[in-house]
Amino acid sequence: MQSIGIIGVGSYLPEAIISNAEIGRGAGVTDEWIVRKTGIHERRRAAPHEATSDLAVAAAQRALDRAGVTADQLAYLVVATSTPDHPQPATAALVQHRIGARRAAAFDVNAVCSGFVYALKTVEGLLSGAADGEPRHGLVIGADIYSRILDYGDRRTAALFGDGAGATVLGPVAPGLGLRQISLVSRGDAHHLIEVTAGGSRRPASPGTLTAGDHYFRMDGRGVRDFVTRTLPYETDRLLRRAGVSADAVQHFVPHQANGIMLAELWPDLGLHRAALHLTLERYANTGAASVPVTLAELDRKGAAEPGELVMLAAFGGGMSLGLALLNWSMEAREETPAPGAYPAVSPLLTAGEPVSPLAP
């Protein structure tokens, strides 16, 4: 079977920049407190007229342009999101219509912030099994608008999230390049750590749920931190052993942009001592399922990876869920280097601060 890899990436971040000072006024905290607890300085917020599908369409078009692939060449279109436009139809169906991907099977994946890697595994498997003559391109989008489900009086969550979308085009690549190993993990016994408790079939929206604020995003920060610090190092080592790869061979690490302080404290335990750690949370915060592809797009814009270099992706989120992917970068550097200042730089490794859970008092 021909190898499948990432042949195009793109992202879209809304224009509105929301500062820590603005967030802090509602949550009762300062800019200094937010930076010290999270490493986040600002985030983007979708305009009132923008829905998740709008962000996804913009990112998709940029990824298709980067890949040199047209929408009607797509066999599959998958949107990873936990903030869909509405309960049904799938947000992917709206994106398919908007971009003209008339041949693509379109559906959503919800593994919360791990959704992009789950969708990547799904589309890679579908494309690898395609018969001769069938389309061999797929589009994987991560998109979320968390600003619509946050309680801005809750300092544990208000500062952590931003809105955005990132997209990747998958297609055939040369031998030795592309996706090598993907690992997906679910721990349903910890589902209570991250949740929106109302608005579904268990507790339909009602005046009572609205009054109680049960349609807002809630998170047990300490429990999430414990899950990630316990699970991610083990699963990272397990993935490398399954792939027959040394940790020292990994050259780039692109994690879910959950909390910069937590990632800085966790980083030494992953054993990826020779890898560059790519962070974009300083400017964009946690964009949910979009955070990994948004950071991949920044990596591409910066020209940080050469074809063949080993890249690891790691995402974790509600469910609880975790997704890891190991790939050999399959994109040539851009022919034109973006002008200085055209795109935000990929952030350096943040300095670890005091051991804290995300936004713990």
Q: Which residues are catalytic?
A: 113, 256, 286
3-state helix, strand, coil in the chain (%, to 5): 35, 25, 40
CB distance 144 to 164 below 8 Å:
yes
Question: What are 126's two structure tokens?
Answer: 């579908």
Q: How far apart are CA 280 and CA 288, in angstroms?
A: 13
Torsion angle, alpha carbons of 318, 150, 88, 320, to 10: 0
Distance of CA 139 to the CA centre of its chain: 14
And the tokens for 21?
């000072």
CA distance 82 to 358: 20
Burial class (CB in 10 A: 0-12, 13-18, 19+), 12: buried
| CB-CB neighbours of 51 under 10 Å | 19
Q: DSSP letter for 99, please.
A: H
Residue 100, sorted as left (phi over 0), alpha (psi -120 to 50) or beta, turns out to be: left
CA-to-CA distance for 327 and 244, rounded, in angstroms? 13
Q: Are 217 and 45 in contact (CB under 8 A)?
A: no
How far is residue 19's CA from residue 17's CA, in Å, rounded to a whole number? 6
What Rg value do the Cα atoms of the chain yield, rounded? Answer: 19
* Inter-residue contact 47 to 15 (CB < 8 Å): yes
